[in-house]
Amino acid sequence: MSGLAAPDDRVRPPSSPSGRPAGPAAALAAASAHYLRGEPIDMSALAAELGVGRATLYRWVGSREQLLGAVLGEMTERTYRVAARGVGGSGAARILTLLDRFMRAVVEAEPLKAFTEREPRLFIRLATMPGTIEDRATELMAKELQAEIDRGELRVRLPTRTLAQAIVRVADSFMYAHYLGGNRPEIDQALEVVELLLRPCGTSGCRESQDASGR
């Protein structure tokens, strides 16, 4: 589940007191700014923008693919937090409303459309395989699930993190259906499957007080 920042978020590369780039954080911020403008992320141009050599940039962020994964992971969290604003309700209903808002924000995101038009295969690899983006999305979903469990509004059969990872993978497979051979995003179908995963489990086999790590 990857996304975009809120329209009013500003991404500014931080700098050290000397005015020189502040390292990996500056590289991530600069790359994120290019992404939000719908621009390609070129490592040579980014290094020049930051006033460092390519070797330094690669030492800070790893490969271009790793940097793009970090950018999309950051955008995922920003989008998720915007989607969560003002979401009411409790239990499964709240989770489904939040997920619905998040997925629709993702598929409508102009920066993401620009990226997928340029590099669709790379995007699918980054977005649907285990890695930075899935880990960030799973962590966010696990926290939401655990909050509802702790309030007594949700009873589940699976460890929280396992359930969160399942929800993320279901959302990805339907949300990106149009990149995987389908005709369009299938958000309603994703919500139907997640609703099944969140249905009350009765008194036997439920997990009521596990933490987000799945213990």
Joined together, the tokens standing for residue 73 give 């992971």
As a whole number of angstroms, the distance between CA 153 and CA 207 comes to: 12
**Mapping DSSP to helix (H, G, I), strand (E, B) and coil, where does residue 21 land?**
strand
As a whole number of angstroms, the distance between CA 180 and CA 167 comes to: 18
Residue 215: other Cβ atoms inside 10 A: 10
Comparing CA positions, the residue from 78, 63, 100 lying closest to residue 32 is: 78
Whether the CA torsion 113, 88, 202, 188 is positive or negative: it is: negative
Residues 6+ apart with CB under 8 A from 17: none
Residues 6+ apart with CB under 8 A from 164: 138, 139, 141, 142, 145, 212
As a whole number of angstroms, the distance between CA 118 and CA 95 comes to: 32
Per-residue pLDDT of the chain (215 residues; tens, 9 = 90+): 665 544 444 445 444 444 555 699 999 999 999 999 999 999 999 999 999 999 999 999 999 999 999 999 999 999 999 999 989 999 999 999 999 999 999 999 999 999 999 998 899 889 888 889 999 999 999 999 999 999 999 999 899 999 999 999 999 989 988 877 777 889 999 999 999 999 876 545 565 544 544 54
Do you know the residue count of the chain?
Answer: 215
Decide: residue 208, CB within 10 A, 0-12 exposed, 13-18 middle, 19+ buried.
exposed
